[in-house]
Amino acid sequence: MKLVIAIIQDYDTDEFLKAISRHGLMATRIASAGGFLRTGNTTVFMGVEDDQVPLVKRLLVDHCRVRDEQAVAEALPFLDDADFEHISVSRIGGGVAFVARVERFEKFARATNSPSESTVA
């Protein structure tokens, strides 16, 4: 089993998650931010079987696009106006994936109380 941690642009998250769902895979997503333009990212955590890693990598390539974007002054408050005018369009997007071996995987779930069970407050 492998743990795939993928960091992708918010723009690409919904389509990527739909694609993995169509293949019967599940994921946990966490909002994150980073990079020079401080744009929104999503960190996606997935536990997959070893033979599913190539599929996940292909879906990342298929759904995580590179795009050109111009920074807005509000996103870079540490720059003076004079410095800001020298910033060109930046290429953002794509994704980064880390794949780690998982020694053990356990899923925990607690069933809800049945009507016959009483709860003590």
Residue stretches of the chain with pLDDT short of 70? 35-39, 67-93, 113-121
The verdict on residue 21 lying in a domain is yes
pLDDT at 33: 76
User: Among 97, 94, 93, 96, which Cα is nearest to 37's?
Assistant: 93
The verdict on residue 26 lying in a domain is yes
The verdict on residue 22 lying in a domain is yes
The verdict on residue 84 lying in a domain is yes
- Reported as a single tens digit per residue, the pLDDT across 39-73 is 678 999 999 999 999 999 999 999 988 766 655 55
| Residues of the chain by 3-state class (helix, strand, coil), percent to 5 | 30, 35, 40
The verdict on residue 111 lying in a domain is no
| Predicted TM-score (pTM) of this structure | 0.69
**CATH code of the domain containing 75:** 3.30.70.120
Name the domain count of the chain: 1
The verdict on residue 108 lying in a domain is no
Give the structural domain span for 58: 2-97
Asked if 69 and 26 touch (Cβ cutoff 8 Å), the reply is no
The verdict on residue 37 lying in a domain is yes
